Amino acid sequence: MALALLIVVDAEGDEAEAQAYDLSALGMGISSGASLKSGQLVDIRANEGLGGPVRARVVWVGQPASDKQYQAGLEFLSPLKAAT
């Protein structure tokens, strides 16, 4: 099941919708139409599952014109805490 979220993609606070998959304590994969670059910092907001806003770094983006062109991998700057 994918987790719906918003990512803040730039300093002006522009947001893009995304779907998260492969969520772990260290990062996640996302599908989004946002224009992301490797190394870029983003803020992630979700209605559930993350426990509040999370800061992450884009570690890979799918190649244009490939089946992964709208996908990206994000690494959390601080690991998520396990739900209790």
How buried is 7 (Cβ within 10 angstroms: 0-12 exposed, 13-18 middle, 19+ buried)?
buried
- Per the confidence metrics, is the pTM higher than 0.85? no
Domain coordinates in residue numbering, the chain: 3-76
Asked if pLDDT for residue 44 goes beyond 50, the answer is yes
To 10 degrees, the CA torsion angle through 45, 47, 49, 52?
Answer: 50
Instruction: Give domain 3-76's CATH superfamily.
Output: predicted glycosyltransferase like domains (2.40.10.220)
Please list the residues that pair with 54 across neighbouring strands: 44
If one compares 1 and 38, the residue with the highest pLDDT of the two is: 38
9-33 pLDDT tens trace: 776 778 888 998 888 889 999 999 8
Measured CA to CA, the distance from residue 46 to residue 64 in angstroms comes to: 27
